[in-house]
Amino acid sequence: MIDCIRKGKIINMMTPKLSNSMADLVRLLLQWLGMEDHQQTLLLFHYPLLLLFIILLFIFSFSIIFRQEKLNLPPSPPKIPIIGNLHQLSMDLHLAIHNLSQKHGPLMMLSLGYCQTLVVSSAEMVREIKLHQEIPFADRPVTTAVKMLNYGGINLFFSPYGEYWRQVRKIYVMELLSSKRVQSFKCSREDEVALMINKISLSCSVGASVNIRELVTRLTMDIVCRCAFGRIHQGQDGHAHFGDLVDETVKLFTAFSFGDLFPWLGWMDILTGLIGRIKKVSRKIDNYIDQIIDQHLIQSEHSNSDCNKDFVDILLDVQKNDTSFTRDNIKAFILDNLAAGTETTSTTIEWAFAELIKNPTMMKKVQEEVRRVVGTKGKVDEEDLHQMEYLKLVVKETLRLHPAGVLILGQSSTITNVKGYHIPAKTQVLINVWSVHRDPQQWDKPDKFIPERFLNNPIDFKGQDFKYIPFGSGRRGCPGISFGIAVVEIAIANLLYWFDWKMPSGEDLDMREGFGLSVNKKIPLELVPISHFSA
């Protein structure tokens, strides 16, 4: 093999780079993983294997390059053999690919190890894909974490586009998250918000600050658990423990995996402990949801009244009418809702408050509106929200400037053509919503928080105007829009009605972002509540 490569003059071209940068390349991979502390141990025991695999990857990467020269691919930043463009990324992935797109265009191809990734960064390109290429791009990549945590990717978010996906989405739209069903959870939302307000009132009595992120994360978890399970589970092995499991699951979905980018290096995920962590969390969540399902089966009277049904009841009814709908399907659906419906919702509430604290004039305006609408009745009803026009503008602008789902994932099912560029089959797609929402060609002063930009503006959350897609767009748009917005609006309205808010003495507002499943505030928001109705 070496003779053949030498005859092809590939080895002569690559040897200097290989000899000069092999150690740097291994170190780069380890640093990208945040594993500098274990560098020497890994190199001591696994350097020969790494060397072998890297040489094989060099050969494979050049075969890919030679094949791609025949295709007219979108522009791409300069690549390094094997790792491609990985060295140009950072933990703030949305910002890194935004900056690269500023140089190479709104349709850009990145090589992330073995994976070819198309980055879409403008409303024009989103429109092109969603209107003319939606079905070829309707699949989703299934990662190592997804396969192990989401039962092989049989949930709505990751299941491949096709008949099964259509059946799954129908269950969501017609049963789990229909307008009627969302309305039936009204009492759950109001009860949990009231508990949160009482907790904040205790802090007011002693003048203590509160961690907004902790408050709203607990709130959203409580609401989603009540809707999914019918009740809150407390105690050492109950709700708090389960909330930690969901949080760990969300982190694992975005964890770096060697096997996802370099299939031949999947064994490294065992060495780094990733596989062990996934198995441990998966086993615990699986056992926990199994217990919930068994309890629902025993307590059959719980499902007698349709208006009191929770997600587990609804899915068990689906199973009765469809024997192919297994218990794993039910568990995948439940985990889907818990993972997607908690962090994204709580992040939106936290960002809204951060922006209002940063803009006190807007804070005063929205508070006056909320208190005027509610009046003296002492309770914020969800019906009141229809009259809170400025509050709705604040929520819309928060989701523009700080979209919870900052990256929309996709994957091409076949070779296709976008604006004259060839896109190979199995190409992963990243729509950078952060870039789309800050496109200066579409938005005036795009980096400024201006709720009034949505006044008398017909743009809604459904993604039909491709410059505003906080919940995605098209066939694979999020079906939980109504549910999520209902929680966000009732929470913000109550927090503004009952309390005035200020920063702790001597502290500055830090608006830096942190990347995860959603883009939250890097530093959790800490505020001092002041009761508006104190004597």
Would 256 be classed as within a structural domain?
yes
The reported pTM is: 0.85
- Kindly report the average pLDDT of the chain as a whole number: 85
Q: Please report the pLDDT score of residue 3 as a whole number.
A: 44
pLDDT attached to residue 63:
55
Q: What is the mean pLDDT of residues 84-112?
A: 93
Rounded to whole angstroms, the Cα distance separating 128 from 16 reads 43
How many domains would you assign to the chain? 1
d(CA 155, CA 176): 13
Percent of residues, the chain, with pLDDT higher than 90 = 64
Percent of the chain with pLDDT over 70: 83
User: Per-residue confidence at 61, pLDDT binned at 50, 70, 90?
Assistant: low
The CATH number given to whatever domain includes residue 265 is 1.10.630.10
- CA R_g for the chain: 25
What tens digit of pLDDT does each residue of 474-502 get?
999 999 999 999 999 999 999 999 999 99
Query: How high is the pLDDT of residue 65?
Result: 54
Residue 78 lies in a domain: no
Give the mean pLDDT of 133-150: 92
Residue 133 lies in a domain: no
Structure tokens at 64: 């890919």
Could you identify the residue written with the tokens 């053999």?
81
The residue type of 490 is I
Mean pLDDT within 114-125: 95
Asked whether residue 24 is domain-assigned, the answer is no
Q: Assess if residue 25 is contained within a domain.
A: no
Instruction: Report if residue 12 sits inside a domain.
Output: no
The first and second tokens of residue 55, run together, are: 């040489």
CA-CA distance, 250 to 273, in Å (whole number)? 17
Rounded average pLDDT over 32-43: 45
- 213-247 tens-digit pLDDT: 999 999 999 999 999 988 665 544 444 567 788 88
- Give the confidence band of 119 by pLDDT, cuts at 50, 70, 90: very high
Cβ proximity of 51 and 78 under 8 Å: no
The model's pLDDT over 314-365, given as tens digits with 9 standing for 90+, comes to 999 999 888 889 999 999 999 888 888 888 999 999 999 999 999 999 999 9
pLDDT tens-digit series, residues 168-218: 999 999 989 999 999 999 999 999 999 999 999 988 888 889 999 999 999
Bridge partners for 115 per DSSP: 112
* Residue 115 annotated as lining a ligand binding site: no
Residue 150 in any domain: the answer is no
SS3 at position 80: strand
CA trace torsion 186, 190, 191, 196 (10° rounding): 150
Q: Token pair for residue 274?
A: 């990733």
Domain that holds residue 475: 163-531
The answer to whether the beta carbons of residues 462 and 150 sit under 8 Å apart is: no
Q: How confident is the model at residue 515 (pLDDT cuts 50, 70, 90)?
A: confident
Q: Is residue 192 part of a domain?
A: yes
More confident residue, 121 or 404: 121
